[in-house]
Amino acid sequence: MTTGIVYDDIYLLHRIGNHVESHHRLIGIMDFLKEKKLLDNPDFKLITPRKATLDQIRYVHEDSLIKEVKEVSELAEKTGHIQSLDLDTSVSAKTYEASLYSVGGNLQAADEILNGNLTNAFAAVRPPGHHSNSYKCAGFCIFNNIAITAEYLFREKGIKRIAIVDFDAHAGNGTSDIFYNGSKSGGELVMFDSHQDGRTLYPGTGFIGEIGTKKGEGKIINYPMPPRAADDVIMIFFDEIISPMLYEFRPEFILISAGFDTHWTDQLTGMGWTYQAPANYLKKIKTIAEEFAQGRILITLEGGYEIDKQARAVYNCLKVLNNDDDLIEENPIESGKDVLNYINDKLIPALKDKLKPYWNCF
Ligand SMILES: [Zn+2]
């Protein structure tokens, strides 16, 4: 089996000064993979991204958003200064170009998974995407990589059922916004979005009552975790909610928005995960992909701001994708009793109650 790693130096050219979403994040990942000699292993293949077309970006974004990113990038080039799209989303001269390749890297990987060159893939791309909705870039994000990839699979590749799993510490509000009424192309999509409770973290959304409307009703699943929730809490989400739902939904492709800012040391968030937690979660998700989707998983990078911890977490995910259990582990962390009681006695039953009208499994 072959696991693809999408990377290109173009992603370093979205260079936005001292911003926490820095090009050093990707350098850290690639350096660590080299140090571990992962790129010398024939089971892994480096994938060169292509540029997404404007028609593909338009699958989810309005023309006004695309035009704004292009023009602000041109302004950055002309003035030689970093520009801003909003309070936390910065743009350099090459941001527009890098963003087209960020989407295109995901599309290239999706193609190679579908044509059998790859079993699965990890797209080490930036800028990230999950906070951008159809009309607004936000939260360090430019084009919504994962949403465009989902639409690409529906519209150009004939895929009919996609599951998106977003495990960034922040709610994937851009992605859930885009699919809140269901996919416009007629594909079936379900999204599982775990994150730190919006009462305690940006963007302040992603509560269990936000379940989608119209064709999307019952298909957006939010799992707001209290601060300091550790590895055990995400496994409960999988066992109680994701697994039964995906056995019913039978996804043909699984797309993952992977943010590594759930690590207990992350400077922007207050979660309590170890750096092996994402890989252990992925192991479970992979069982579903193997059952229904011929193993097809594409992971795209979102956040993660402790560079060395993120590099280890990504390495672990790559090992799991490639069926290798030999992970780098730190001391296990368990959630506090109050956190576990809240999850088991309140959050999970309340979430099942919300979903019951739409899913036979509850
Ligand atoms: Zn995040």
pLDDT tens digits, one per residue of 258-296: 999 999 999 999 999 999 999 999 999 999 999 999 999
Angle between helices 307-321 and 24-35 (to 10 degrees): 50
In a domain, 324, yes or no: yes
pLDDT 10s digits, 50-66: 999 999 999 999 999 99
- CATH code: domain of residue 266: 3.40.800.20
Burial of 93 (0-12, 13-18, 19+ CB in 10 A): buried
In a domain, 294, yes or no: yes
pLDDT of residue 170: 98
Percent residues over pLDDT 90 in the chain: 99
Catalytic residue (one of 131, 170, 195, 263): 131
**Separation between Cα atoms, residue 339 and residue 362, nearest integer Å:** 23
Peptide bond preceding 127 in cis form (omega within 30 of 0): yes
**CA–centroid distance, residue 361 to ligand 1 (Å):** 30
Domain interval for residue 178: 3-355
Q: Which CB contacts under 8 angstroms, 24+ apart, belong to 279-283?
A: 279/313, 279/316, 279/317, 279/319, 279/320, 279/327, 280/231, 280/235, 280/320, 281/167, 281/234, 281/235, 281/238, 282/256, 282/317, 282/320, 282/321, 283/320
Q: In the chain, how many domains are there?
A: 1
Contact assessment for residue 351 and residue 241, using Cβ atoms and an 8 Å cutoff: yes
Token output for 13: 């050219």
pLDDT 10s digits, 342-354: 999 999 999 999 9
The 3-state secondary structure of 273-321 reads ECCCHHHHHHHHHHHHHHHHCCCCEEEEECCCCCHHHHHHHHHHHHHHH
pLDDT of residue 29: 98
In a domain, 361, yes or no: no
Say what the pTM is.
0.98
**CA–centroid distance, residue 222 to ligand 1 (Å):** 15
Which has the closest alpha carbon to 300: 165, 122, 131? 122
Q: Per-residue confidence at 250, pLDDT binned at 50, 70, 90?
A: very high
pLDDT 10s digits, 168-186: 999 999 999 999 999 999 9
Single-letter amino acid, residue 225: M
**Separation between Cα atoms, residue 192 and residue 174, nearest integer Å:** 13
- SS3 at position 41: coil
CA atoms within 13 A on the CB side of 322: 21
Cα 255 to Cα 153, 176, 211, 339: the distances in Å are 10, 14, 19, 28
**CA–centroid distance, residue 197 to ligand 1 (Å):** 12
Token output for 329: 């582990």
**CA–centroid distance, residue 106 to ligand 1 (Å):** 19
In a domain, 362, yes or no: no
**CA–centroid distance, residue 319 to ligand 1 (Å):** 22
Contact assessment for residue 189 and residue 150, using Cβ atoms and an 8 Å cutoff: yes
- Looking only at the bridges linking them, the beta strands covering 161-166 and 253-258 are parallel
pLDDT 10s digits, 24-43: 999 999 999 999 999 999 99
| Active-site residue flag, 131 | yes
In a domain, 121, yes or no: yes
